[in-house]
Every structure is written in C-alpha cells, then in structure tokens.
Amino acid sequence: MYLRAGMPALAVLAAISLAAPALSQTSTAIPAKAYGPVWTGFYVGAAFGGGALVNKMNTSAGGASLGLDGLGSSGVLGSIYGGVDYQVLPKAIIGALAEATLSGFQSSATAQVPGAGATATTTAGLGWSVLGRAGFLANPSTLLYLVGGYTGQNISTSGTAVAGGAVASFSRNDTVHGWTVGPGFETMLTGGWSAKLEYRYSQFGTTTPSGTAINITPSTQAIRAGLSYKFGGLAAPSYDEQATAYRPEKTNWTGVYGGVAGGGGVAVNNVSTAFGGASTSITGAGQGLLGSVFAGADYQFAPQALVGVMGDFTWAGLQSTASLTAGGGNATIAAQANRAWSVMARLGYLPTPSTLLYAAGGYAGQNITSTATAFAGGASAFASQDNTFHGWTVGPGVETVVTGGWTTRLEYRYSQFQQQQILSGVGIQPETHTVRAGLAYKFGIGAPSPSIASE
C-alpha cells in the first residue's frame, strides 16, 4: 500500500521550453506565415495506454473509524478523440477536444476463514472528458502542451459473501465527476498524421454509496500514446504547403548525456496473508511525487534511428496508510516506496531530426519501508522494516532538442517487481506507474553524425 500525495508537478515542461531560444535546427529564418507544418485545423485520433485507479476510503460506526489511503487497481485503456487547434502565433497553439475512454482498471479484495468467505471487486469502465489545451512549438514539427478540463468516470463495484451455507451479493454502478490535467508531447509524422504521448492526473469527487457510511474519493493517473489525423480547415494553408517551407538541418544524437527529472506516479501492491486456516488478499495503492537524476549514451546508427543505454536513481514519496481508531486506542500502518534505480536499453526513431520517439526497458530495483504504530491503554508500540525488491521496467518516451545540446523529455514507466515475504505469512508484490519530465544536456549533439554525413 502507498500514500496519496499531490498531483505530479509536471507543468515545468512548458516553462522550460518557453524560456529557451529558438531552435538551432532551422537552417534559415522562416516567415511566420510559413512556419513549418500547419497545426491549425480539425483532427481525430485514437490512443492506447495504461495507468492506475486509487480509492481513498474512510468509514465510521459507533466509536470506531477506519481510513484507507488507499485501495487501488491498474490496467490498460483505449481512447478515441476529436478536436480542433488554432495556431495563434508561429510558436503557439490553443485548442479544444472531446474524448471517450474505456479502461480496465480492476482491483479485488478477498478474505477466507473456515466456513466463511467474502470477495469484492471494483472496476473502472467508461470515461469521458471535455478539454482545452495550450501548447508551445519547441520546433515547427513538435508541440509541448498542457491539457485540462472536465472528466467523468463510471465505476462498478460488486461483492459476494458466504457464511454457514448462506450467500449474499451486491452489485452497483456509480458515476463520478471531476477534473483532469496533464502535459503532453505531439510530433508531426507525414502528411496530416501526428503521434503524441500524454499523461493525465484526474481527481473525482467523494461519493457515499446509499445505505452505507463509507466515503470513497477516487483518482486516476494514466498515460496515452496516440495517433491523430489532422484535416486542416479554419482557412488554414494545407500541410504540404507549409511543410515545404521548413528544412531542418541534420542533428547528431550520438553522445553521452546527463540530466534531472521530476514527476509522480502510483504504486500498486498486491498483498496476501495466510495464518492457519485464514487468508486474505487485497490491492493497495497510493500516489506521490518523485525526483531523479539520470545519465546515458546514444549512438545514431542511421539517419532516423538510434540505440542507447541509460540509468537513473529516483527518490520517491509513493506512500499509503491504513489507520484504525476504536475504544480509546489507535493503530496505523504505512508503506513507502522511497528509493528506486534502473539500468535500461533504449531504441529510438526520429520522425524529424530534432525529435525522438523511443522505447526503454531493463532492470529496476525498489526499496520499500514499512512502519506500524499502535497505542492502547497508555501503552504504545512501533516497528519498522526495509525491504528491497528487484524486477523489470518498460515504457515509451518522447525527447526533443530545445537548443544546442539541451533536450527535454516526457517518459512513462511501468515497473513490476518480485513477490516477496516481508513477514511470516505476509507476502507482497509491488508495481509502479510513473511519469517524469526531464531536462538533459548531451555532449556531442550539434554536428552531423558519421552515418548522416555520408548521405
């Protein structure tokens, strides 16, 4: 289980780009009216991705209260969307879009004792959003943007309990409303086609299922990789008409680099216990912020392709808590994923000389600190334990040149770790969904690489 923290502060991405001078990749000054590919017009698209749902829950009855921060689930999603953009300046656009999403975020909790048992399942299904976005063109073909607005989500909950031969079950659907916000990268490919990578944090309002004293506050964090087609319109020149005016110079991506990143994410734990004839399993989750340092090296072996290696060290605040107060006493259990590290390979494709689409994957390690406190009858107790988990990590990213050797990137990671017994009868298998916005400096970027120079 992990603690919910604030929304990842990723808007630094746009600030970095706005502060940077014009890209050195343009060979000559281009009039504002013909600044590379046109972004004005209507578009449609589809996206695929993944993420996690976190439910913050609390309830009270009599003199007892229980708080869980939180219960969660992870899974994949698919979206369709349509919108319109208007290029208000040579390097700025504004727009609006609508989106429908079908997600498969599902969590479950079970408990078994001799002669009795119970199971509960929560699933996030159909979601929808109406959004605005504003963006800055890091170069004529690559847009860095922020998106935000209204979002809604359908959540289904069902459960079954068996005891002494009797069976009871329930099923319900709830619609929650809230807001969503996040950063994204979009880059033109060819014709009217573009690819994007977008992260979203969504916060929904608190609901109280009828007939219960349980308050549930859900939130989601998700990443989407999308493919769009822009039709133009709004009296904009055609894509080909503007594209002919933009001739970027060759860019060398070969070299060693280092950088820093900030972001956030969700940690999801599958926890199981077994004592005698009793057993339980539950999916716990929490949210938090993170910061990391990274370094790597790339080799551009073809005009539009590169390979590389990279490693990072991350400090995280992905923590969750469970607290119980009853009869004048209280107890709290907390788990925090506080340090992580990885060594990965990456493979990239350059749709334009200054923008890289890549996939990365490799080894990941994670340290989790678990603490427990209790107070009753004037006595108190405290326990703490550190455990290190090993596993793998994989995810997509987008990186673009800002100026000279400076680049900025947006990267998503899914990490899966080993199952481990942390106490006698208590097992845990963690996984994390994280997103990070980074700023790097590459030593060697600028001149054509040998493979490009030979063209």
pLDDT single digits (tens) 348-399: 999 989 999 999 999 999 998 888 788 877 788 887 888 899 999 999 999 9
Whole-number pLDDT of residue 76: 92
Report the 10 Å Cβ neighbour count for 342: 23
- Examine residue 1 and state whether it is found in any structural domain, yes or no: no
CA 336 from centre of chain: 18
Q: What is the pLDDT of residue 114?
A: 78
Return phi, psi of residue 209, to 5°: -55, 140
* pLDDT computed for residue 377 by the predictor: 73
- Range 57-83 average pLDDT: 83
Contact by Cβ (8 Å): 36, 259:
no
Taking the alpha carbons of 96, 102, 104, 108 in that order, is the dihedral positive or negative? positive
Residue 67, in any domain of the structure: yes
What's the burial of 138, exposed, middle or buried (CB within 10 Å: 0-12/13-18/19+)?
buried
The tokens 């859900």 sit on which residue? Answer: 218
Q: Is residue 12 scored above 60 in pLDDT? A: no
Q: Does 2 reside within a domain?
A: no
32 located within any domain: yes
Query: Residue 6 domain-assigned?
Result: no
Predicted local confidence at residue 106, as pLDDT? 80
Q: Is residue 279 part of a domain?
A: yes
Sequence letter at residue 417: F
Q: Residue 123 falls within a domain, yes or no?
A: yes
Question: Which region, left, alpha or beta, applies to residue 328 given φ > 0 means left and ψ of -120 to 50 means alpha?
Answer: left
Specify which residues 410 forms β-bridges with: 398, 437
Rounded to whole angstroms, how far apart are CA atoms 314 and 387? 16
Q: How many domains does the chain have?
A: 1
Does residue 343 sit within a domain?
A: yes
pLDDT at position 236 is 56
Phi and psi for 90 in degrees, rounded to 5? -55, -30
Rounded-to-integer distance, Cα 411 and Cα 370, Å: 28
Range of the domain at 153: 12-453
Instruction: Return the residue matching tokens 């790339």.
Output: 298
Tokens encoding 309: 């290696």
pLDDT digits (tens, 9 = 90+) for 386-444: 889 999 999 999 999 988 889 999 999 999 999 887 776 777 888 999 999 999 999 86
Mean pLDDT over all residues of the chain?
82
Over residues 162-185, the mean pLDDT reads: 87
Nearest-angstrom CA–CA distance, 219 and 59:
18
